[in-house]
Structure 1
Amino acid sequence: MTVGSASLPPGLPRIPRDTQISEHVLNTLAGEHPLTVLRGPRGYGKTSAIVTWLRSEGHRHPTVYVTLSTASNELAGFWAELRSGLERADLLGAPASDSDAHADVTGLLAERHEPLVLIIDDFHEAGLKHGAATIDDEMVDLVRQNDQLFLVVGSRTLRALETTGALSVEAAMIGPADLRMTGPQVHDLATRLGLTITMDEAQQIAVDLGGWPSAIRAGLMRAVSGVDGDGDGGTLVDGSLVDGYIATMVRDLRFENVRSFLLRTAIPEQFDIEMARAIAPEGNTVRILRNVRAAGLLSERHTVEGQMYSYAPAIRNALIRVMRESRPELFREVHLALMNLSAANRDPGETLTHAVHAAQWTTAMDVIERQWARLLTHQPLTLIAAARMFPDNLVAANARLRVAVDYVEGALDPHAPDSSIWAVPDYTAINSIIEEDRSGTGDPERDESLVLLQWGISSLLGGNLDTSVYAFSRARERGLITPSDAGALQMGTVGLALVHALNGEPDLALRWLEDSTLQDRIQHAQPEDARDIALVAASIARALAMVDAAHPGADEAVATMIEPRHRDELWALTVFIRAHHAVLEGTPDRIFRQTNHLRAALRHIARGSLVEAVLSSTLVELLLVAQMPGVAREVADRYDGNPVAWAAVAKVHLTDRTFGEAISYATKSLDSGGSRRAAVECQVILASAHHALGNLTEARRAFATAVRLAQATGQRRPFFLMQRYVFETLAGDDARIHQLWPGAEGAPVQQPAPLADEMQTLTMREAQVLRALEVHAGPVGIAHDLGLSVNTVKTHLRTIYKKFGVSNRNEALAAAERGIHQA
């Protein structure tokens, strides 16, 4: 990008003059990549980094700075705010009364022939309520299409723009780890503020506050105010005053058992009477509890688990501080009791938390080893917090702890729930195969790549595909950095292919499988290589991608899949893919056989897991194809309650012609997120259902979305859910869209099979009427479906009958079975 002069963009916020931004961050921003993403929680200095970069020496290209507000939570609001920003920069004029902000913005950015740096701050607001995926996809498309556009975004959340955008364009990522303040930075800031602290103190501040820039600055500013004698430094809660009050109260208590009760029960955030008895066994626990509650120190609330008690946050924190200062042995003693309680209740997260607080490192490490997959997928924040409490020497010696400390946080979406909706499968067999594959790399406990790969697999099969991409990418990076670790490079690459295949992105999956690092290993694959997990996963990814793409090689890819030896989730995926393929390609016998295979596989899979949902959804499809809608409905109802099941229920309703319900369930599935495959399927269902109801505008909108997603990902298979004549009606004359129809042999349809010479003169509209005649017995239904008048349909039917040389509907359909050629 050629350097040119430019003034600072309007609208830049003010930042503190002594803001500390690392050279790495500034150099990354100065690199002017097509896409640069700054991601971190509130107060992590994303805006300060952007402003500091813009004010630094050197001239840049014309730059537009836009800060989003909650108005951008809706799709239309995002484009409106972006348009306002471009308007303030004199790149767009005032909007006309009938102006479309989306069209104005995309038109300008797509067609601009001069360099433009577009900075969008607070990007986490974009589409927060509706349209986030659409916004991310369109922004990536604009950057990819126009090499003069350079996009910089600041966000608090992990977005598709970051996770998948980097696969489409050259991108630079600045994450929380890059934005955190280090000990030396804290020391330098304190010196600038006139505060004298040692380097060790600065390092401790950085550790205690997690490197959080705004929190560190606020603390230092309060300390400066206190040194200057200007009051209490502006703190919202005077912690020393609370501590003094609690310390005096505890000291003045006449009964040691009450004093002990207060200190001990402050450890858990909330407790019931049984927990109080376990951690504060001295005296009459019920009486003490009643007295403490009567004194106003405890609040009580009713829950499904019974009466729960808790202290106000400031009082609890003060009690804990007093205990740690005056009775430190109680702290570990209580956590040890809570650890045993949690272990008895089979709660690995709580057991781990209390084990590290009690300094029971062996127990804590045992929990991490045994419950690694569950902690990663269901309690990642608990895992991170616990791992950071381990002594440095233990972290250095254990790969899982290092991954938890260095990597896991980078994969988290702050707005996503801490726990996955899917049950945790048993990964023992898969993990042991991965360990065997890497048996020559050294000590398994120190093999960080092994842990990353196992994390990728557990996240993949646990339904967290974004996290799986992150983990496999990190493993692949380690393989690239360490030439001797070719296994991590290959496994990471295969893992990425499998993730994209399962997510319904066949083009990306096949692209990863073509990576040069894999070719030698794949080309020499043999059926007996069932214990080579890389080859197994590669064959599964290839087969699934080709089926989804309706690729001519799908038959061979499915037939040559390497089946795992263990009946685990990876094995279940091979059953799913064969059934997935049979829906398009199967004879009645094959469909019946695959139906039985699916039922059998469901008995081997963990209830409530993602793989179970995928198998049951495919079973519904097979039953519908086998014309068993009643049984399909029973299966769909049995597994209801998750996005995959809702899409399956929508398919049942579409077959039953209960179109309102089909629309409701398809929309519910779309709103809950899910794979790109499910997104295309649900849009196809919406298009079909709206078309059947006569809502042609909604049908065309859903169909256009399905087409856009299919063209972006390479999917074709989902269109089989749609009646052929409906597809052709909505596709119109666009030959590129017609290529999306999955052909009889699993390949995109190039040309329909021709009829006899006298039948080769049907127009496009006549062909659509003929297709509709398969569903409707007369012109009224056809007219309703195609949006034509009844008389027009009658005219087309007379013409078709004449061209075919037939006299009625049955004869015309019999001729149509030999194929239709559209003139």
Structure 2
Amino acid sequence: MTVGSASLPSGLPRIPRDTQISEHVLNTLAGEHPLTVLRGPRGYGKTSAIVTWLRSEGHRHPTVYVTLSTASNELAGFWAELRSGLERADLLGASASDSDPHAEVTGLLAERSEPLVLIIDDFHEAGLKHGAATIDDEMVDLVRQNDQLFLVVGSRTLRALETTGALSVEAAMIGPADLRMTGPQVHDLATRLGVTITMDQAQQIAVDLGGWPSAIRAGLMRAVSGVDGEGEGGTLVDGSLVDGYIATMVRDLRFENVRSFLLRTAIPEQFDIEMARAIAPEGNTVRILRNVRAAGLLSERHTVEGQMYSYAPAIRNALIRVMRESRPELFREVHLALMNLSAANKDPGETLTHAVHAAQWTTAMDVIERQWARLLTHQPLTLIAAARMFPDDLVAANARLRVAVDYVEGALDPHAPDSIWAVPDYTTINSIIEEDRSGAGDPERDESLVLLQWGISSLLGGNLDTSVYAFSRARERGLISPSDTGALQMGTVGLALVHALNGEPDLALRWLEDSTLQDRIQHAQPEDARDIALVAASIARALAMVDAAHPGADEAVATMIEPRHRDELWALTVFIRAHHAVLEGTTDRIFRQTNHLRAALRHIARGSLVEAVLSSTLVELLLVAQMPGVAREVSDRYDGNPVAWAAIAKVHLTDRTFGEAISYATKSLDSGGSRRAAVECQVILASAHHALGNLTEARRAFATAVRLAQATGQRRPFFLMQRYVFETLAGDDARIHQLWPGAEGAPVQQPAPLADEMQTLTMREAQVLRALEVHAGPVGIAHDLGLSVNTVKTHLRTIYKKFGVSNRNEALAAAEHGIHQA
């Protein structure tokens, strides 16, 4: 052909009519850079970008387009193919039989005095078997020596032409990130093709396919033809098309180690260089990883664990399907390597998943046996998926697998946040339950035993709803099987204990009155610490009665059976005694319980729910012991877990930093803790808002606390509130007044002499007393309440007289004294 400024070069391939090439790519190609490199995997639109640019430009320079074939894999073949392209463009005459293509091509390109754009497509074929470095060096030298030569290459692989060439000449690089399609581009192309999709769907297509232009365009074209639509013109990712692209790409790979690397590394969702070395040991792993990433098949993320690599979802799935069809032995081999890695990293969920995929059933069962509690509380979906992959005969023979398959999914709340608590080793408690069930047959087949152990693990791990579910299922099995009264009784006492810990004393006491449980309690030896049902029942009863400020709380706490082992169940008895001492304790008793709490914390796993409960109770005891500074130090140590937030709110309420008290109480409520914490936080909110003069908010919070207390049977939390504030907010409602701990003759600590006087304050006197906390004298109080100064002085004299005090500080001290003693 004749090369001219208005002519297109010969040999341009056909491209789709609706090609979506970004303006950035077209502008880069039009930039007249001495060297321009387009790099991306097959189907990434390199050729389409070049042809679109050539068709859209008013070319100022003659252009030659050459596509390389496998003949260029050898050094001589490359120069021969390049010479043929120049010959077709009438830049070289017909070659003689003894001519040297290398000399002719380099001579022409080095000596040309007029501008020439040389486009070499499929440049990855150049010197693939021999001479790649030589070719790259010579082409860079030609561009560097002749300022009339403009070289554009399209390649699938990273070459020295791109890396070292950019150091020698001005170069423009168009990589996979520039070529891949974005969500808006997908949406725009779909609109032009007449396919109706939303922008969210377009974004999802781009993400699933990693922006792979050819696969996206093919999927949209299929939707146009109605082959794979979802409704009128709607489509997402066509798996068969992606599989076809991937299969072709894998077949086209010349090196087995690269093919193996792609298939192997597609199995994990993401991997780092060390994992890549473990699962794809063939060849130079680092170099292969670099080349695959440079080709645009892998995305790279910077994480706290280092560089992580992953395939786009649809590409990864296609690679796995190709591997299953062509190299099924790799699947188990890679999962076996990943299993060993996960075991070394002490990740039971990952270890279990890879073990079942590798058909390592003994290892998988060993993980389930050793990590049962952690899997249930932190990785239940992983456990379910793994259990369902076990052979049917193994599932039938193992109770844990049957429970995982038949029960666990029913307890999952998809909206519940992941548990933040550490999972201690409950070996002691579980062994006691196994001993209790020793007459029920083979422990490996005892589903009731597994359900009970699940209930306890969930309870101590903070998953109270799941614990209720597990204990209910165990109880149901006992009801269905009359011979299994142990499951019925233990399920019942488990439900009582869960409701007691959740701050629902009415429900807990109701379960404890169940006839089957009462039969066991009545026939057991008194204070038999070996009977776990008796121990758990005594703990549940004591806690429920303390929370309800029940007349029998003293006796229930005194007769509570202490477990023999220093485990989490034992720690609950320490918590309950301290919990009770806040209401009933003398100064000596409070200090004694404080020491018991500190000692118990040394026996409990760090980061566990039980540790958080004990530390929060310690904060409350320290506040009652009038050691707010120490309480503040303890609470600050645990700031960050939801249980501690309620305790921190109590510290701020005591410090009269009411804004902070409101903030922490609100955080605790938003975290969705126990019903006990909910009542406490609403009482704190009511007290803090009342102190700040926000009466509407105070009444709203108080009303919520009252509703929760009436629903659950809670009374104890109202002791966080000063008695006169409680009386003010309760008004004339006799039912609310019954919620005050000690009402109806409940044996709480005898009120201080000032308490009766505090109860006789009028509404206006209570408002003046509250304002006295903020203002030092009658002038500020009068301004806040809209009263005259003389009226305020009259009210203050009356308050001082009723309290038997003579100044502001004594009055406030008397009011503060009423928090726990009124």
Change (3 A) 1:277 1:444: same
Q: What is the deviation of 1:106?
A: 90
Aligned-residue offset at 1:452: 0.7
The answer (yes or no) to whether the contact 1:498–1:537 under 8 Å persists in 2 is yes
Report sequence identity in percent: 98
Distance 2:60 2:520 in 1: 47
Mapped to 2, the partners of 1:106 and 1:702 lie a distance apart of: 87
Paired with 1:519 and 1:390, the residues of 2 have a C-alpha distance of 41
CA drift of 1:237 comes to: 2.1
Partner residue, 1:674: 673
Is 1:130 the counterpart of 2:110 in the alignment? Answer: no
Range with greater deviation from structure 2 (533-542 or 189-198) = 189-198
Report the more deviating stretch, 479-488 or 175-184: 175-184
Larger mean Cα displacement after TM superposition, 273-282 or 235-244: 235-244
Partners of 1:805 and 1:446 in 2: CA distance: 71
Equivalent pairs, count: 822
Q: 1:440–1:358: structure 2 CA closer, same or farther, 3 Å change rule?
A: same
Question: Residues 247 and 147 of structure 1: is their aligned pair in 2 closer, same or farther, counting only changes over 3 Å?
Answer: closer
CA contact (8 A) 2:721 2:819 kept: no
- Partner SS, residue 803 of structure 1: helix
Q: Out of 219-228 and 389-398, give the one that drifted further.
A: 219-228
Q: Secondary structure at the match of 1:806?
A: coil
Please give the secondary structure, in 2, of the residue aligned with 1:36: strand
Go from structure 1 to structure 2 and tell me whether the alpha carbon gap of 1:813 and 1:17 turns closer, same or farther (over 3 Å shift).
Answer: farther
1:700 positional shift: 1.1
Question: 2:408 matched to which residue of 1?
Answer: 408
Q: Secondary structure in 1 aligned to 2:194?
A: coil
1:528 positional shift: 4.2
1:576 maps onto 2:584 in alignment: no
Post-superposition CA distance 1:168-189 (Å, at most 9, x none): 9999999999999999999999
**Structure 2 vs 1, CA of residues 244 and 447 (structure 1 numbering), >3 Å: closer, same or farther?**
same
Q: CA deviation at 1:526?
A: 3.9
Distance 1:397 1:121, change over 3 A: farther
Change (3 A) 1:268 1:819: closer
Contact preservation (8 Å) 1:225, 1:232: no
Asked whether the equivalents of residues 640 and 646 of structure 1 are also in contact (C-alpha less than 8 Å), the reply is: yes
Change (3 A) 1:89 1:335: closer
Measure the CA separation in 1 of the matches of 2:77 and 2:728: 33
Moved more, 600-609 or 812-821: 812-821
Residue 238 of structure 1 deviates from its aligned partner by: 2.0
In the alignment, the residues of structure 2 paired with residue 740 and residue 148 of structure 1 have an alpha-carbon distance, to the nearest angstrom, of: 94
Shift of 1:469: 0.8
Distance, in Å, in 2 between the alignment partners of 1:106 and 1:724 is 99
Change (3 A) 1:157 1:210: same
| Greater C-alpha radius of gyration | 2
Alpha carbon RMSD of aligned pairs, Å? 26.1
**Shift in CA distance, 726/44, structure 1 to aligned 2, threshold 3 Å:** farther
- Kindly provide the CA deviation profile for residues 490-549 of structure 1, in whole angstroms up to 9, marking residues without a partner as x: 111111111111111111111111111211222344444112111111111100010011
Deviation at 1:743, TM superposition (A): 2.5
Q: 1:358 to 1:159 in 2, by over 3 A?
A: same
How has the CA–CA distance of structure 1 residues 818 and 365 changed in structure 2, closer, same or farther, with 3 Å as cutoff?
Answer: closer
Deviation at 1:99, TM superposition (A): 97
Tell me which moved more, 451-460 or 252-261. Answer: 252-261
Distance 1:601-1:124 versus aligned 2 partners, 3 A rule:
farther
Range that drifts further, 556-565 or 719-728:
719-728
Whether the 8 Å contact between 1:755 and 1:820 is mirrored in structure 2 is no
**How far apart are the structure 2 equivalents of 1:443 and 1:67?**
73
Distance 1:554 1:11, change over 3 A: farther
Task: Tell whether the 8 Å contact from 1:725 to 1:768 is kept in structure 2 after alignment.
Answer: no
CA contact (8 A) 1:550 1:746 kept: no
Equivalent residues of 2:719, 2:819 under 8 A apart:
no
Note the C-alpha offset of 1:60. 81
Provide closer, same or farther for how the CA distance between residues 645 and 60 of structure 1 changes in structure 2, counting only shifts above 3 A. farther
Q: 1:172 to 1:606 in 2, by over 3 A?
A: farther
1:230-263 CA distances to partner (integer Å, 9 max, x unpaired)? Answer: 9999763222222222222222322111111111
Normalising by structure 2, report the TM-score: 0.68
Change (3 A) 1:630 1:67: farther
**Closer/same/farther in 2, CA of residues 329 and 817 from structure 1, 3 Å limit:** closer
- Whether the 8 Å CA contact 2:724–2:758 is kept in 1: the answer is no
Aligned in 2, Cα 1:494/1:652: closer, same or farther, shift over 3 Å? same
Distance 1:800 1:111 in 2: 109
CA spacing shift, 1:199–1:627, aligned 2, 3 Å = closer
Deviation at 1:565, TM superposition (A): 0.7
- Deviation string, structure 1 residues 801-820 (Cα, Å, up to 9, x no partner): 88999998899999999999
The secondary structure found in structure 1 opposite 2:66 is strand
- Provide, for residues 535-577 of structure 1, a one-character-per-residue CA deviation record: whole Å limited to 9, x for no partner: 1111111000100111111010000001111101110000000
8 Å contact from structure 2 (residues 143, 150) kept in 1: yes
Determine if contact 1:753/1:820 at 8 Å carries over to the other structure. no
Structure 2 CA distance for aligned equivalents of residues 552 and 173 of structure 1: 82
| Residues 752-807 of structure 1: per-residue CA shift (max 9 Å, x gap) | 89999999987676688789989998667887999977655544455678899999
Secondary structure in structure 1 of the residue aligned to 2:744: coil
What is the CA–CA distance in structure 2 between the aligned matches of 1:326 and 1:417, rounded to whole Å?
Answer: 41
Change (3 A) 1:760 1:439: closer
Change over 3 Å in CA distance of 1:587–1:793 after alignment to 2: same
Contact conserved, 1:336 with 1:355, CA < 8 A, in 2? Answer: yes
Equivalent-residue separation in structure 2 for 1:712 and 1:370 (angstroms): 40
Q: 1:734 to 1:331 in 2, by over 3 A?
A: same
Task: Please tell me whether residue 4 in structure 1 is matched to residue 19 in structure 2.
Answer: no
Q: For residues 380 and 672 of structure 1, what CA distance do their matches in structure 2 show?
A: 21
Q: Which moved more, 1:798-807 or 1:151-160?
A: 151-160
Q: In structure 2, what is the Cα distance between the partners aligned to 1:750 and 1:95? A: 113
Measured in 2, the distance between the counterparts of 1:611 and 1:669 equals 17
3-state DSSP class of the match of 1:54? helix
CA distance, structure 2, for counterparts of residue 73 and residue 103 of structure 1: 18
1:4-57 Cα deviation digits (max 9, x unpaired): 999999999999999999999999999999999999999999999999999999
Give the stretch that moved more between structures: 431-440 or 118-127: 118-127
Shift of 1:416: 2.3
Q: Deviations over 1:127-146 (max 9, x none)?
A: 99999999999999999999
Specify the alignment match of 1:294 in structure 2.
294
Does the aligned pair in 1 maintain the 2:430–2:453 contact within 8 Å?
yes
Question: Does the aligned pair in 2 maintain the 1:260–1:280 contact within 8 Å?
Answer: yes
Give distance in 1, aligned partners of 2:536 and 2:141: 30
8 Å CA contact 2:265, 2:279 repeated in 1: yes
Which shifted more, 80-89 or 13-22?
80-89
CA deviation map 1:348-367 (0-9, x unaligned)? 01000000000001100000
2:42–2:249 CA contact under 8 A, matched in 1: no
| CA distance 1:714–1:808, change in 2 (3 Å) | same
Larger displacement relative to structure 2 (812-821 or 72-81):
72-81
Change (3 A) 1:90 1:499: farther
SS at match of 1:65: strand
> For residues 35-90 of structure 1, what are the alpha-carbon distances to aligned partners after superposition, in whole Å with 9 as ceiling and x for unaligned?
99999999999999999999999999999999999999999999999999999999
1:434-467 Cα shifts (integer Å, max 9, x gaps): 1111110111111111111111100100011111
Is the CA contact 1:739–1:750 (under 8 Å) kept in the aligned structure 2?
no
Q: Render the CA deviation track for 1:655-683: whole Å, top value 9, x for unaligned.
A: 11111111111111111110011111111
Deviations 1:110-166 (A, max 9, x none): 999999999999999999999999999999999999999999999999999999999
Aligned equivalents of 1:687, 1:173: Cα separation in 2: 65
| Rounded Cα–Cα distance in structure 2 between residues aligned with 1:734 and 1:87 | 104
How far apart are the structure 2 equivalents of 1:223 and 1:763?
A: 78
Q: Would the aligned equivalents of 2:195 and 2:233 in 1 still touch at CA under 8 Å?
A: no
Rounded Cα–Cα distance in structure 1 between residues aligned with 2:769 and 2:107: 40
Kept in 2, the 8 Å contact 1:507–1:545? The answer is: yes
CA separation of 1:274 and 1:166: change in aligned 2, threshold 3 A? closer
Which 10-residue stretch deviates more, 298-307 or 610-619? 298-307
Contact 1:753 1:821 (8 Å CA) reproduced: no
Q: 1:800-811, aligned counterparts within 5 Å?
A: none
1:756 aligned counterpart, secondary structure: helix
**Which deviates more from structure 2 when the two are superposed, residues 515-524 or residues 420-429?**
515-524
8 Å CA contact 2:157–2:295 kept in 1: the answer is: no
Stretch moving more, 722-731 or 787-796? 787-796
Q: Does 368-377 or 146-155 show the bigger shift?
A: 146-155
SS at the partner of 1:818? helix
Cα deviation, 1:629-666, whole Å, max 9, x if unaligned, reads 11101100111111111111111111111111111111
1:96: Cα distance to partner? 99
- Larger deviation: 219-228 or 246-255? 219-228
